[in-house]
Structure 1
Amino acid sequence: MKWKQIPLGPLQTNCYVLWNDENKCLIVDPGAEGEKLVSWLNENNLKPLAILLTHAHFDHIGAVDTIRGTYDIPVYIDEKESDWLADPGLNGSGLFGMGQIQAGPADRIITSENTLTIDDFTLRVFKTPGHSPGSLSYYVQSEGIVFAGDTLFMGSIGRSDLPGGSHQELLSSIHDHLLTLPEETEVLPGHGPATSVGNEMDGNPFLNGF
């Protein structure tokens, strides 16, 4: 399989596209610039199967309806943030003066940690709250990658001072789920460059001593 990181919107939120040899793909966090993303998908002859959301902050959901409407595909989200898509007060767009960023209800609600199978794609879903109460990480063992959203970054961790955030929960999520993965696992964050579990174990100052 192949994957592509596509920064979108004013906060350069990382959208990811993961595709197989048949050009079927999954889209993680289509945050903004929906028409730009549609153009890229069509230029590369990719066939989207689903949208996976790591969480429902405004900068991760801005292009959800454009992508869903164009390809008629389902949206997956954690149960704790199922109401956030339609509510600018919850998704933060109102708080940060970003206008009324909204999306329709999700089609699939994730209620527990499990193995998610979509066509030929198999992902392990981890509940990784702390940045937000319904943050999820998606681990693709066969490819050695984890889509971590705003939980873990290169040399940093997600902010926990937004509504529903918790610093201790964030650290526990990272320690219990992400740092237990093989050290060579690539961590694909919601902002900034990719990193690896091993690099963050060795050099992330926010994790030292935890």
Structure 2
Amino acid sequence: MAFIQYAVIGLGRFGSSLSQELTQLGHEVLGIDRDEEKVDEMSDKLTHTVVADATDEEVLRSLGVRNFDCAVVAIGDNIQASIMAAILLKELGVKTVVAKALTDQHAKVLEKIGVDRIIFPERDMGVRVAHQLVSPNLLDYIELSKNYTIAELVVSRRISGLTLKELDPRAKYGCSIVAINKTDDVIIAPTAEDVLHEKDVMVVIGTKEQIDTFESRAIR
């Protein structure tokens, strides 16, 4: 895993959780918040923390944020501050700017100012949990775009012992198995002759409808 420097602006529930996880994954994280109490709480958990106003260009410049690989605007409830911080980060030349959106309108503005990735943490998590609840074989679900989804599906007893050629998800359901995670190995780009065994985890790509159909008709 490549070492990446992150700046996380906003240390509320989402920002603090994100920044701690990035730190535990071995990356350098600078946590920025106006609230001194929040900064103090995170001071021993992140690489660096600072009490600062991220809507002030000179402050961001003095912190050297332009040298970070990625900046995440995780400001919780102030849309104006979120947009202003994102604009400044783009103007300062941060390589990748990610921002949390609170509403669809907020997301549209962030998109127009050139934010590289916009996330809806609560909505996205809700979608993933909903899919996991209704699909017993689904381990994870990530929307790649408006059209395509990638999902992790557990091989059931019903299809155990079949080769990918016999299962043929592309021809029958329109989706593709791009990897198989076995207990002792991961097969990337499996061939038609690879055999599925119960409890293997298939990484499947396709539209939501294709994956739902595959899971309900072939696996259950």
Give the structure with the higher percent helix: 2
Report which of the two structures shows the higher radius of gyration computed on alpha carbons.
2
Give the TM-score normalised by the residue count of structure 1.
Answer: 0.34
Give the structure with the higher percent strand: 1
Give the TM-score normalised by the residue count of structure 2.
Answer: 0.33
